[in-house]
């Protein structure tokens, strides 16, 4: 049979008896109309029946909780979608866009739900969509754990450790106050402490200076800056702080510090080199996310361990830092990057490059977010440390099952799923603060000449 005869034969087959020529294609087409056999023996099929957002602020921090309901009576999951600076926008993203997109879906299909949600808005990579997706994603893992009657960490591979080390936030107006705070933390069993000190006359990040940002027209602008911060006094002061702490406290405590991305590259290099002799556990956010390429230069100049990532949204930001070994700790925020599904992939990637996790988990991650991070940390070999936040008794009442802090460790509750719930009636008693719906800590601090400070 020559080429022309062969082509005629295929053409006739396609027109007359094509089904016999393409059995594989036919089989696939037929299978699409068939119900899929459940791999969950003895469990009924499950569907998402509703998705709700719960807004509450028991510590005056705007928390956004996502609740995913299922067709099985009483079975639901909780996730954290908190973006406290833009909470109502995230609520809209969940209620108006993700909810109608996901109603009727099988909640067991966590990965497919994430991937389809990721492209559902066409434009992606933004914090609002990712916060909304994070809440849904954590809730689906919570459902799966409850359905399996296992804590989520068991689904992720089981425990690598009995609990996770926390780091404590110590700050003060001067070196002595910071030292006193570190000693208090050590007396309570903490082995890791972040130390921040106020720079006199400046609006210093994380230092407990007592300066309150106002919510009126006196916030200042480029012509009349009000909250002032300059890099040089800061760069000169911080090495003296850690010299004081090491002389007074020795090396029995791991010390951390957060630069919060406020200095240019040359100052960052100088400070990192100066701090080498004080053996920090890590130095956080030495550079802003807009300048991550500078980590190549910084890494060549210093042996101080570097942590980065709390403002990252997507893989385009953190993958280069991990794959090129330019940081020592990855600090992404689970409620910001897309949830537990993303974070577990980041943790696995980081392990291959010798990088540890130190998820960003302050007070504006809800107890649900902390529970999700803890589940992953318990099952992650390269977990470094968990950012500590001591939730008030009121918050613990709103969120029964909030992970326990004992002797500087964070312990899981061992209940199925994420092990945490929410008292919706009590949560409703703590509405968002009656003021404009964003925080005034950001976008108001300036240099003396009026230039805005990032962040």
pLDDT beyond 70 at 451:
yes
- In a 13 Å sphere around the CA of 289, the CA atoms on its Cβ side amount to 16
pLDDT tier for residue 100 given thresholds of 50, 70 and 90: very high
Running DSSP on this structure, what letter comes out for residue 308? Answer: E
Both tokens of residue 263? 């200095």
Residues 442, 445: Cα–Cα separation, whole Å: 7
What value does the mean pLDDT take over residues 3-30? Answer: 46
Q: Tell me the pLDDT tens digit for each residue of 50-87.
A: 999 999 999 999 999 999 999 999 999 999 999 999 99
pLDDT tier for residue 26 given thresholds of 50, 70 and 90: very low
CATH number attached to the domain at 155-416: 3.20.20.120
pLDDT beyond 60 at 27:
no
Helical segments of 283-400, H only: 295-301, 315-323, 334-337, 340-352, 367-378, 393-398
- Give me the pLDDT at residue 439, please: 61
Would you call 205 a catalytic residue per the annotation? Answer: yes
Closest alpha carbon to 130 in 174, 86, 163, 170: 86
pLDDT beyond 80 at 297:
yes
Would you call 260 a catalytic residue per the annotation? Answer: yes
**E-only strand ranges, 361-422:** 386-387, 404-406, 409-411
Running DSSP on this structure, what letter comes out for residue 55? Answer: E
Q: Is 346 exposed, middle or buried (0-12, 13-18, 19+ CB in 10 A)?
A: buried
Running DSSP on this structure, what letter comes out for residue 453? Answer: P
pLDDT beyond 50 at 270:
yes
Pick 230 or 216 by higher pLDDT.
230
- Give me the pLDDT at residue 13, please: 47
- Give me the pLDDT at residue 418, please: 98
Domain limits of the chain? Answer: 155-416
Q: Tell me the pLDDT tens digit for each residue of 394-437.
A: 999 999 999 999 999 999 999 999 999 999 999 999 999 887 65
pTM for the full predicted model: 0.90
Residues 78, 89: Cα–Cα separation, whole Å: 19
Identified catalytic residue from 205, 234, 278, 281: 205
SS3 52: strand
Ranked by mean pLDDT, which of 6-10, 34-38, 331-335, 442-446 comes out on top?
331-335
How would you classify residue 308: left for phi > 0, otherwise alpha for psi between -120 and 50, otherwise beta?
Answer: beta
**E-only strand ranges, 133-261:** 164-172, 192-197, 227-228, 254-258
Identified catalytic residue from 169, 244, 257, 260: 260
CB 19 within 8 A of CB 13: no
Q: Is 249 exposed, middle or buried (0-12, 13-18, 19+ CB in 10 A)?
A: middle
Residues 124, 314: Cα–Cα separation, whole Å: 9
- Give me the pLDDT at residue 70, please: 98
């Amino acid at each position: 049979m020559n080429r022309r005869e062969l082509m005629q034969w295929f053409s006739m087959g396609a027109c007359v008896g094509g089904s016999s020529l393409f059995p594989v294609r036919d089989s696939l087409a037929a299978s699409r109309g068939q119900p899929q056999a459940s791999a969950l023996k003895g469990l009924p099929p499950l569907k998402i029946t509703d998705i709700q957002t719960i807004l509450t602020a028991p510590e005056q921090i705007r928390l956004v909780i996502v609740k995913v309901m299922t067709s099985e009576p009483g079975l639901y999951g909780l996730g954290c979608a908190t973006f406290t600076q833009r909470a109502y926008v995230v609520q809209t993203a969940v209620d108006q866009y993700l909810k109608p997109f996901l109603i009727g879906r099988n909640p067991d299909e966590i990965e497919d739900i994430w991937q389809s949600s990721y492209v559902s808005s066409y434009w992606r990579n933004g914090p609002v969509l990712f916060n909304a997706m994070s809440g849904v994603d954590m809730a689906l893992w919570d459902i799966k754990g409850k359905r399996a009657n296992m804590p989520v960490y068991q689904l992720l591979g089981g425990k690598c450790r009995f609990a996770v080390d926390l780091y404590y936030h110590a700050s003060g107006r001067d070196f002595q106050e910071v030292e006193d705070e570190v000693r208090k933390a050590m007396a309570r069993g903490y082995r890791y402490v972040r130390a921040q000190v106020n720079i006199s006359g400046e609006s210093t990040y994380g230092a407990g200076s007592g300066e309150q940002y106002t919510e009126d027209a006196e916030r200042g602008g480029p012509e009349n800056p009000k909250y002032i911060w300059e890099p040089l006094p800061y760069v000169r002061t911080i090495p003296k702080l850690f010299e004081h702490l090491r002389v007074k406290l020795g090396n029995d405590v791991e010390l951390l510090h957060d630069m919060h991305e406020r200095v240019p590259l040359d100052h960052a290099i100088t400070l990192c080199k100066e701090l080498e002799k004080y053996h920090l556990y890590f130095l956080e956010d030495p550079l802003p996310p807009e300048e991550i390429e500078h980590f190549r230069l910084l890494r060549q100049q210093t042996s101080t361990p570097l942590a980065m990532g709390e403002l990252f949204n997507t893989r385009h930001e953190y993958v280069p830092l991990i794959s090129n070994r330019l940081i020592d700790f990855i600090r992404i925020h689970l409620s910001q990057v897309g949830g537990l599904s993303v974070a577990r992939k980041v943790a696995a990637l980081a392990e291959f490059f010798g990088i540890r996790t130190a998820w960003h988990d302050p007070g504006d991650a809800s107890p649900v977010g902390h529970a999700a991070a803890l589940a992953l940390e318990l099952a992650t070999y390269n977990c470094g440390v968990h950012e500590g936040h001591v939730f008030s008794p009121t918050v613990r009442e709103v969120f029964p099952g909030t992970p326990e802090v004992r002797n500087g460790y964070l312990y899981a509750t061992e209940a199925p799923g994420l092990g945490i719930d929410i008292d919706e009636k009590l949560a409703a008693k703590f509405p968002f603060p009656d003021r404009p719906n964003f925080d005034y800590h950001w976008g108001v601090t300036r240099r003396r000449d009026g230039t805005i400070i990032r962040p």
